[in-house]
Amino acid sequence: MPLFQAGFYRNDTDWLQYAVDELNKAIASLSVGQKYEPSQLVVSKLVSTAITPDPQQLKPRVALQEITKVLKNDGHDLNPWQIGKILRGLGFQTRLSGGTNYVQIDKSYLIY
């Protein structure tokens, strides 16, 4: 806060407006960043991507690139490598098939 005090003392309204705007951006960014942990976010998007038209079924696998696209549409910047690492850390298996990385969805992960 000493910088704000110096700005007030010097009556530098341009700098004060800039500083207030930057402070508000930082607060908003912090709030957004604290809504979800990356692992919660990735699992949430995995489940939403894996749901089929039949609500009793999930796709047996989901491309990591699909999850990346869904995350980017929501404003989150994680790449397929990061997503795969998070999912493997949670016990999911990832496989390469035809040049595309997929996460396998095993029925044992589901809770009935």
What are the pLDDT digits (tens) for 49-58?
Answer: 888 777 667 8
91 backbone dihedrals φ, ψ, rounded to 5°: 100, 0
What are the pLDDT digits (tens) for 70-81?
Answer: 999 888 888 999
Looking at the whole model, is its pTM more than 0.75? Answer: no
What are the pLDDT digits (tens) for 93-104?
Answer: 999 999 999 999
Does the pLDDT value for residue 110 go beyond 70?
Answer: no
What percent helix, strand, coil does the chain show, rounded to 5?
60, 15, 30
